[in-house]
Amino acid sequence: MKGILSLRKAKEGASPAATKSKIPAAQLRIQKDLGDIEQIPRTMKLVFPDPNDLFNSELTIAPDEGFYRGGIFRFSFKINTNYPHEPPKVLCLSKIYHPNIDLDGNVCLNILREDWKPVLNINAVLVGLQYLFLEPNADDPLNKEAAEVLRANRTVFENNVRRAMNGQSVDGVQYDRVAI
């Protein structure tokens, strides 16, 4: 008990500058996660616009196989101070035709929602996002129309993806040109 009281008194007597210099637990975890990331695949690029801000980054995915090969897709990647107890917020900045990404850029990935656990890390999210481009999930869609087409006719779905990636419209919706 004496040890706890002496720690409390020391903390209370600490200068404001000393308490401000503490690194938030979330930032320590982010630094650990970034250090643990195995080499990011060449199809992905994680950039920190402000190198002093590890809580906000941009992710680019350029799939080299699957329906979305030949496209470049940009995401904002925001981590709050409750990380790792809360998942990162991921938003697709490119308007794309995808069953698991709605027209506002919201991403449907189970580990970003109900299946998130503090043992998961940034690398798990990167792998999950990459997998959405290799195998879109029609069983858990945000874009129900795209999911229905994927389930009904993969050839029509692939044609719709190609048209959308080239900046054309699909079912009256104009998409961003993301094809390179």
Rounded to the nearest 10 degrees, the angle between the axes of helix 144-152 and helix 154-165 is 130
What does the block give as tokens for 27?
Answer: 């930032």
Cβ neighbours around 156 below 10 Å, total: 11
Residue 172 makes CB contacts below 8 A (sequence gap 6+) with: none
Listed residue (175, 30, 170, 158) closest to 93, CA to CA: 175
The residue from 90, 92, 107, 108 that is catalytic is 108
> Is 92 among the catalytic positions?
no
Listed residue (2, 4, 57) closest to 27, CA to CA: 57
Show which residues are catalytic: 108
